[in-house]
Structures are given as structure tokens and as C-alpha cells.
């Protein structure tokens, strides 16, 4: 601030001015909730630019700060353009400042001006802010008006809103996709939604507002909410455009995959808002999920395929020191197909996969890597007795199943288990060792288990 400015405005740079400047430094630039609240009186009154931006008392102001910090944690670039202070009573000072708030860190031409008045109580060495009143200029007021009285005659705010709403309706109807807009506040309150998106979701406007309570977050798939918040949060820090995929709940209860591209901005009242275009990408997302599943899972049994097993086993090998690698082969599987048909053979394979998953942990790896050959990896096991117990349970359950349905086939299991306390090598290394043990079982009469490795034990 220059000396000429100070003389023109009769400004005295006192500690009351500094307290007002300090709270906005902590609030806008330092983004420190704790430090900003130090300047607030217990019964502070905050009146913001919006209808609902009113807080009575330090606790409500704290809640406003917390919600705003959660939406936009990054520092807010700003400049103080004007500054004025006057004493209104003993120990009581009124401070006025005009702050230019920039939309992006690069500052530039995207900004809005806010006008802030504070009432500061200063006694001895302590000072506290009793009131904060924030506002933004409105265009309808004439330059020479003390109050916007001409607005009453020349302008109709309701009419202006209706015209804006009509313009939005026209634009949204022309766009071949869904559109939604609202505020970056808790729950993402909705200011508008177009008919196309409502039709995709199966709601009328009134039904949508009732179900969502006017907040988009209430119909977002719970598994997608954190990702949406993260991506929008990153966009606020890096720029103002974002892209995100997520699911919206339809009236039927099903979910629709949406691709959303949006832009964030400050509205005329200084509130952080967004507007976005949405496309229905359900078909492509379902196809993507199908491709991902086909790349990882066996189509018949639903357990992992060879590629996924290799990936997961080798990831475990890099992290852990012990584990048991099992190769499991069905004895006399050809007899099942010959005596009972190939459909029966498929059922046997699916049942074995089910049994394997039943007797191991969810974090263990079960995979089908051949026609009647499975791999089982029990990670981070330190005792071979635990491994043998699990294998015995698997063999017993499979034997009971075969005896009840396909007894004539005499199907059973031959299993080779390679156990070691210090994992070395790769998936293929472990497979070769366990596979050799399994074939030793085959040669010695089938229907048995052979466990070997660093423990030096054969069962």
C-alpha cells in the first residue's frame, strides 16, 4: 500500500488492521484452521455472501472452516486491494478490506473481488474479531445508488433467474448427453440436472430430488465415492477441469456407469461450484470388466488362471519368506468324462475349485492351469503341519464328493507340495519342483500327497 493510498483513505496501520489481515492470511494462504480460530471471539458472528453462509459462535465458524478446507485444502492466491479502519467505540474498531481472490495458482485474469468488514475488540494485549461480513458486488445496482433501489424498478431478480434457467434448459437439451451442475459442498448439492440424465436414470425431476435429497453423492455407488472426491480434489489443486468414471443408482436399483467431464468455478456469490457433461459408458465398462476378468480368471471354475497366478505368486515371493506351493492333479479324470459325460467332468472341476477355496484363506491363491490341473499357493505359512492339515481336508472333501456322485470313475487327487522357509526363484521354479513331486505320487499309485522342501520331510 503506497503512502498516497494511505493518506487518501486515512488509514492507520494498527494492530487491529493486522489482526484482520492475519486471520485471512491463516484462512486463505496458510489454510490453518487452528491459527485462524485464534482471532475469533467466542460469540463471533460470520455473515457470508450466500443465504446459508451464516454462523453464530466460534463452533459454527469452525464447522464452516472445516467444510470449506475439506473441499479446497490448497492455498488460495489473493491480494488486498483496499484497506480502511476506524474506531467506533472504546476498544472497538471497524476494519474494511477489498480482497481479490484468484481462481488458479497462476493468478491471471480468472478472479473475483470480495468485500470484507470486520468488527475487532482490542483490550490490552488481546484482540478478537466479533463480526465478519463478506459480500461480492452485484451488477444491478446503479453507480450512484446508496442502496440498489433502481434494482426494484429496472430489474426483476426472479425474472433474471427464470431467464437463466430457460437458457440452461435450452443448452442442456441441445447437448447429446447428461448434464448436471451444483456446488462443491458436502454431498454435492445439485443446482440443475437435464432431462436426458433423468431419463437414463429413470426418474422424474421430483422423484430424483426426493430420492437424492438434492445431493448427487446420495446416488453415487458407495465404492466410487472416495475416488470421485479424490479426483475432484486433485482438480481443484492442479486446475479446474476434471474427468472421472463412476456409477449412479437408477430408479430400478441398478447402477449406470457414467463418464463425467466437469469444470469447477466460483459463482457470483463466491461459492465453489461445478458443471459437468455426463456420458453413459455402461456398455464399454461392462466390456472392460469382462476383458479384465477373462485376463485373470478361468471361465469354467471362476478361480484364477495361469497368468493371474504367476503374477500374484511372484508378488508374494518378493514380500514374504515362507509359503507352500501345491500342484494338484485329478487322477482318472478321463474316466469321469468317459463314464458320465463331459458335463459331469465340468462339474467335477468346478467342485474341486470350490473345495480348494473353502479350505484356504481368501488371501491364498487358487488357480486352474490345465485341463484337470490346479495350483494352490499358501502364503506365509511357517509350519508344514498346517499345510498337511489343509491338504487332508481338501482330499477328504473331494473323496466324499466323488463317492457320492461318480464312484465308478475312481477319481482322486495326486498332490505335490513344495514348502520352503526362504523363498527364492520364480513361479516356474516352484512349479517345476512341486510338479515333480506330484508325478512321483502318480508313479507310486496315485491318490496321495508328497511334501518336500527345506524342511526335508516327505509325507
The tens digit of pLDDT for each residue in 17-26 reads 567 778 888 8
Determine, yes or no, domain membership for 291.
Answer: no
Grid cell locating 209: 430430488
One domain for residues 255 and 308 = no
One domain for residues 9 and 125 = yes
One domain for residues 279 and 301 = no
Query: Structural domain of residue 99, as residue ranges?
Result: 3-136
Query: How is 226-262 classified by DSSP, letter by letter?
Result: HHHHHHHHHHHHH-SEEEEEEEEE-TTS-EEEEEEEE
Specify the number of domains making up the chain: 3
Residues 6+ apart with CB under 8 A from 61: 37, 40, 44, 46, 55
Determine, yes or no, domain membership for 238.
Answer: yes
The per-residue pLDDT for 157 is 42
- Domain of residue 167, CATH code: 3.30.450.20
The per-residue pLDDT for 203 is 92
Question: Which of 80, 103, 136 represents a domain boundary (last residue)?
Answer: 136
Determine, yes or no, domain membership for 144.
Answer: no
The per-residue pLDDT for 218 is 93
Determine, yes or no, domain membership for 218.
Answer: yes
Grid cell locating 139: 451488477
Task: Report the distance separating Cα 390 and Cα 366, nearest Å.
Answer: 13
Residues of the chain with pLDDT under 70: 1-18, 50-52, 138-176, 239, 268-269, 421-424, 453-459
Query: CA–CA distance from 70 to each of 65, 216, 230 (Å)?
Result: 8, 17, 11
Determine, yes or no, domain membership for 52.
Answer: yes
Determine, yes or no, domain membership for 336.
Answer: yes
Counted residue by residue, the chain has a size of 459
Question: Which of 136, 169, 198 represents a domain boundary (last residue)?
Answer: 136
- Domain of residue 440, CATH code: 3.30.70.270
One domain for residues 447 and 304 = yes
One domain for residues 441 and 387 = yes
One domain for residues 358 and 401 = yes
One domain for residues 83 and 57 = yes
**234-255 pLDDT tens trace:** 877 776 788 888 999 999 999 9
Determine, yes or no, domain membership for 292.
Answer: no
Burial (0-12, 13-18, 19+ Cβ within 10 Å), 356: buried
Largest CA distance in the chain: 107
One domain for residues 17 and 123 = yes
Determine, yes or no, domain membership for 147.
Answer: no
Task: Report the distance separating Cα 158 and Cα 109, nearest Å.
Answer: 30
3-state secondary structure of 275: strand
Task: Report the distance separating Cα 340 and Cα 409, nearest Å.
Answer: 8
One domain for residues 118 and 171 = no
CB neighbourhood size of 160 (10 A): 12
Q: What is the C-alpha end-to-end distance of the chain, expressed in Å?
A: 88
One domain for residues 449 and 308 = yes
One domain for residues 268 and 308 = no
The per-residue pLDDT for 352 is 96
The per-residue pLDDT for 147 is 54
The per-residue pLDDT for 164 is 60
One domain for residues 114 and 194 = no
- Domain of residue 35, CATH code: 3.10.450.50
Task: Report the distance separating Cα 375 and Cα 123, nearest Å.
Answer: 78
Amino acid at each position: 500500500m503506497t503512502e498516497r493510498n494511505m493518506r487518501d483513505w486515512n488509514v492507520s496501520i494498527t494492530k487491529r488492521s493486522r489482526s484482520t489481515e492475519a486471520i485471512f492470511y491463516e484462512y486463505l494462504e496458510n489454510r490453518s484452521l487452528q491459527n485462524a480460530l485464534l482471532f475469533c471471539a467466542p460469540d463471533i458472528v460470520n455473515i457470508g455472501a450466500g443465504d446459508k453462509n451464516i454462523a453464530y459462535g466460534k463452533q459454527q465458524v469452525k464447522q464452516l472452516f472445516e467444510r470449506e478446507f475439506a473441499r479446497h485444502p490448497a492455498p488460495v492466491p489473493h491480494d488486498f486491494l483496499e484497506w480502511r479502519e476506524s474506531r467506533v467505540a472504546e476498544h472497538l474498531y471497524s476494519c474494511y478490506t477489498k480482497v481479490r481472490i484468484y481462481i488458479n495458482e497462476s493468478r491471471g485474469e480468472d478472479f473475483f473481488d470480495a468485500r470484507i468488514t470486520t468488527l475487532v475488540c482490542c483490550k490490552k494485549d488481546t484482540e478478537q474479531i466479533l463480526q465478519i461480513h463478506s459480500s461480492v458486488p452485484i451488477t444491478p445496482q446503479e453507480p450512484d445508488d446508496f442502496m440498489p433501489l433502481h434494482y426494484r424498478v429496472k430489474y426483476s431478480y426472479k425474472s433474471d433467474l427464470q431467464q437463466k434457467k430457460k437458457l440452461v434448459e435450452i443448452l442442456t437439451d441441445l447437448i447429446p448427453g447428461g448434464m448436471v451442475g451444483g456446488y462443491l459442498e458436502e454431498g454435492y448439492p445439485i443446482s440443475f440436472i437435464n432431462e436426458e440424465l433423468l431419463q437414463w436414470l429413470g426418474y422424474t425431476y421430483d422423484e430424483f430430488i426426493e430420492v437424492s435429497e438434492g445431493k448427487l453423492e446420495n446416488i453415487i455407488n458407495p465404492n466410487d465415492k472416495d475416488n470421485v472426491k479424490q479426483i475432484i480434489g486433485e482438480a481443484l489443486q492442479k486446475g479446474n477441469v476434471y474427468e472421472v468414471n463412476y456409477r449412479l443408482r437408477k430408479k430400478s436399483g441398478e447402477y449406470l456407469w457414467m463418464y463425467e467431464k466437469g469444470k469447477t468455478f466460483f459463482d457470483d456469490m463466491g461459492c465453489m461450484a461445478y458443471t459437468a457433461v455426463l456420458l453413459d459408458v455402461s456398455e464399454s465398462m461392462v466390456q472392460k470388466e469382462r476383458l479384465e476378468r477373462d485376463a485373470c480368471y478361468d471361465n469354467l471354475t471362476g478361480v484364477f488362471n495361469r497368468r493371474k497366478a504367476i503374477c500374484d505368486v511372484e508378488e508374494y515371493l518378493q514380500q514374504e519368506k515362507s509359503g507352500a506351493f501345491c500342484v494338484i492333479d485329478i487322477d482318472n479324470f478321463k474316466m469321469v468324462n468317459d463314464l458320465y459325460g463331459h458335463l459331469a467332468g465340468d462339474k467335477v472341476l468346478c467342485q474341486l475349485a470350490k473345495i480348494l477355496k473353502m479350505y484356504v484363506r481368501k488371501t491364498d491363491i487358487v488357480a486352474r492351469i490345465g485341463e484337470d490341473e490346479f495350483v494352490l499357493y499358501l502364503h506365509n505359512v511357517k509350519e508344514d503341519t498346517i499345510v498337511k492339515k489343509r491338504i487332508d481336508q481338501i482330499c477328504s472333501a473331494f473323496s466324499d464328493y466323488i463317492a457320492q456322485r461318480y464312484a465308478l470313475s475312481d477319481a482322486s487327487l495326486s498332490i505335490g507340495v513344495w514348502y520352503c522357509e526362504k523363498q527364492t526363484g520364480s513361479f516356474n521354479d516352484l512349479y517345476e519342483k512341486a510338479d515333480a513331486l506330484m508325478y512321483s505320487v502318480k508313479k507310486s499309485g496315485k491318490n496321495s500327497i508328497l511334501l518336500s522342501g527345506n524342511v526335508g520331510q516327505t509325507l
